[in-house]
Structure 1
């Protein structure tokens, strides 16, 4: 009999990774990342991988795709199940850690998605529509998606493409019916709004000083189209626009900071929605010591 899945989640800059590592070390667990952008190789500072934080704790689903690729929910669920089975086969506990609410909730819902092919005709019909228009269309469809992980038009078009496919293929939609996990423990890192905003601002400037602009410049020079980097949103969107001359440095920094704050707010909206949809989250304060956080988490599990 497998042990309950442990999830550690929360908004960006709340310190999830450090907490997951501390808990993993205490209970003999390995970590599976639930971050939709940390799957890409060479996208390190912009996605906040902070690999040094893991130390001797194995982490899965980071650096598994080349930059420029468009990893999707179907692939994540497939790869999560593979990693989970591998970890459990070695007698280890599993901690799912990350802030991509769509990924976390899909695992908790027990979704098994069929692969959805591209629909060129649909994509052509949606070209030119604004992100607001696409998001509005998406909100009217029967979908798990919301605007949390859809911050560019291309991502919104892909989400619409998936839902359109399900509408035309009822058998595929039935395969995607959820089978919720009954033995998962979800722990959220609770951080107040002002502390979150301060940490986001400090982290952004720290990463810029550490070479985040050079990271994106290298990705562009390696042949990855600007449009593909813009697709990833946030840091890669704003830094690409700066490097291609569409924004000044001040516009890039100011716009990016606002966008990350807005992203964190959308994450919290998603987590509150998860609780309303029947997935309780046990919130623990972000400023607990590692030992105290781990002790409280162990009581919950």
Structure 2
């Protein structure tokens, strides 16, 4: 397809929307490779809980290359700055081999870090500052963060003490140090979203949660605990890892865990859609595909949009 007006294809959508399947098939159609934009699939050993659907990357018996999955060990705190840098390296490699990049994921901050040309900066650990902040409670940390940022656009920064301390650490560094400016390349990307209606999305989430528990998601979390990760470290990753850890440590019954996690994933999917709608309001054009549309029709739509 040499007549394409775009340099990249982005496939986004909330959890359980089937975006990975669409992304992999689109990559095959375009002689391309998939670059993940998922903030949790970067971790090794966190497979079922993060929804790594490896089978989706095999299309008609052909393995579609994918990147930025399984690149760091569980327990490490990967961040958007590292993602930007890793994306740049992978994108350059994919393009140098004449392959078409297909960005695919549901982590809004990671997607925008690429699509909005965010500037890059690495923020080192500040042990003295961390020690000073450790005695503060979350309310106090939130106020300190607000002293740097009047408006908190990312509420996940104040979900836990650990996240709040890191957010303060980053803001303090930015005050004291000039930014290392490594800009993203100018990427003209077609952005395609995949979504279901709300009731269908809820049903798919519940069915997928049940399936992954049947496939051994509890055992996966227990293995991570047995490997030396603390309950606090696993809780940091949220959703499945938070609730399954609380169950395995005896704080929740299985039913309490299931119902709490089910509700949390529904709320997460809703927040993802809110983020995507905000992207649209701020100028990102998203071409939406109905999840129920047959896959061949989805691919034809994408092909048409890419060439139009």
With normalisation by structure 1, the TM-score equals 0.90
2:236 counterpart (217, 231, 235): 231
Residue 64 (structure 1) aligns with = 71
- Is 1:106–2:113 an aligned residue pair? yes
**Structure 1 residues 256 and 127: alpha-carbon distance in aligned structure 2, compared to 1, 3 A threshold:** farther
Residue 49 (structure 2) aligns with = 46
Matches within 5 A, 1:33-182: 33-55=36-58, 56-123=63-130, 124-125=132-133, 129-130=137-138, 134=142, 137=145, 141=149, 146-147=154-155, 152-169=160-177, 171-172=178-179, 175=181, 181=186
Name the SS of the counterpart of 2:47 in structure 1. coil
Q: Give the distance between the partners of 2:89 and 2:5, measured in 1 at CA.
A: 15
Residue pair 2:138, 2:158 contacting (<8 A) in 1 also: no
2:245 counterpart (240, 243, 246): 240
Deviates more, 1:13-22 or 1:147-156: 147-156
Q: Give the distance between the partners of 1:148 and 1:287, measured in 2 at CA.
A: 32
Deviates more, 1:145-154 or 1:108-117: 145-154
Q: Give the distance between the partners of 2:196 and 2:165, measured in 1 at CA.
A: 32
Deviations 1:159-188 (A, max 9, x none): 33323322333x21x737x76846111111
Deviations 1:200-255 (A, max 9, x none): 11111111111000000001001112211111111011111111122221111111
Residue pair 2:148, 2:171 contacting (<8 A) in 1 also: no
**Alpha-carbon offset, residue 133 of structure 1:** 7.2
Residue 264 (structure 2) aligns with = 259
**Structure 1 residues 54 and 145: alpha-carbon distance in aligned structure 2, compared to 1, 3 A threshold:** farther
**Structure 1 residues 75 and 267: alpha-carbon distance in aligned structure 2, compared to 1, 3 A threshold:** same
Structure ID, larger Rg = 2
Q: Give the distance between the partners of 2:122 and 2:10, measured in 1 at CA.
A: 25
Q: Give the gaps of 5 or more residues in structure 1.
A: none
**Structure 1 residues 263 and 228: alpha-carbon distance in aligned structure 2, compared to 1, 3 A threshold:** same
Deviations 1:79-135 (A, max 9, x none): 111111111111110000000000000101112311101233444426553489749
Name the SS of the counterpart of 2:109 in structure 1. helix
Name the SS of the counterpart of 1:30 in structure 2. strand
Name the SS of the counterpart of 2:252 in structure 1. coil
Q: Give the gaps of 5 or more residues in structure 2.
A: none
**Alpha-carbon offset, residue 147 of structure 1:** 3.1
**Structure 1 residues 107 and 11: alpha-carbon distance in aligned structure 2, compared to 1, 3 A threshold:** same
**Structure 1 residues 259 and 109: alpha-carbon distance in aligned structure 2, compared to 1, 3 A threshold:** same
**Alpha-carbon offset, residue 196 of structure 1:** 0.8
